[in-house]
Amino acid sequence: MKLLRYGPAGHELPGLLDLEGNVRALRPIVHDIDNDVLSPEGLRFLEALDPKKLPLVDKPGRLGAPLAAVRQIVAIGLNYLAHANEAGLPVPAEPVVFQKSTSSISGPDDEVILPPGSEKTDWEIELGVVIGSVARRVDKSSAYAHIAAYCMVNDISERAWQIDRAGQWGKGKSFDTFTPIGPWLVTGSEVDPNALTLSLKVNGEIRQQGDTSDLIFDVGTLVSYVSQFMTLMPGDLIITGTPSGVGLGMKPPRFLAAGDVIDMTITGLGTQRHSVI
């Protein structure tokens, strides 16, 4: 099942993508794609619906981030071997964890706004994991039961603020529009998170190409690990790291500029396209 939100920024409505690729309205059946919908009971309720009996949205227009309210974004760094190597950093013995501000969230085709004075804004395609039920000190074998859905995320990063300004990585990753999510959520039962191909292009040129089978710490390990030191709640978003091919790792480094266009895709999770302004 694919869940989405459509409409102008700040006024999105909940929807469902049917098997023919049509958007079906979920209001008034549900208020939004929120914690109640993401719970095991909420997903079972929606999965029992016949999409053909839901109102057809003829012209959905803009798609927004498919999550109505994200409590927190937990990000994982250096989680693909080739990416750690291109960064010139040791392979982590444990997951590298940092956080991004939820104010950075935007839609899957919204513009990416360069911060004032930015010269080192970079791209990072990532698999996102959406928590659907409370996870507190869970083991790996039960971790997947706490996942509601998966999605595509661009962990956009201003490297000067991330690296040169002395502090947590989140400083370079929390500017407005720096976390595009979507176009939709795909429920956990329909995704094998360890067999997905990720691809990102800038101006038509492939920059990143990777596979989640190359994750240093897989999805189950990450959910279990994070839950050991924080309680994960419904609506929390974990982004799982990026493959090699970021601008910082190129020789010489190459970063985003106004006028660039970013195209992204992950197997079964849709596409994103962003104009950089």
The neighbour count for residue 53, using CB atoms within 10 Å, is 7
Give pTM, 2 decimals.
Answer: 0.96
Res 183: pLDDT: 98
Rounded Cα gap, residues 118 and 23, in angstroms: 37
Place of tokens 């719970």: 39
Res 83: pLDDT: 83
Res 217: pLDDT: 97
The neighbour count for residue 20, using CB atoms within 10 Å, is 7
Task: Write the DSSP assignment of 117-186 as a string of letters.
Answer: T-S-EE--EEEEEEE-S-BSS--HHHHGGGEEEEEEEE--EEHIIIIITSS-GGGGT-STT-EEB-S-EE
Res 82: pLDDT: 80
Q: Residue 37: in which H helix or E strand, if any?
A: helix 35-38
Which tokens in the block code for residue 190?
């329909």
Closest CA to 143 of 160, 131, 128, 157: 131
Res 98: pLDDT: 96
Place of tokens 């962990």: 155
- Low pLDDT (below 50) residues in the chain: none
Name the DSSP class of 92: P
Distant-in-sequence contacts of 116-120, Cβ < 8 A, 24+ apart: 118/158, 118/160, 119/160, 119/255, 120/158, 120/159, 120/160, 120/247, 120/248, 120/253, 120/255
Which tokens in the block code for residue 260?
């660039």
Res 220: pLDDT: 98
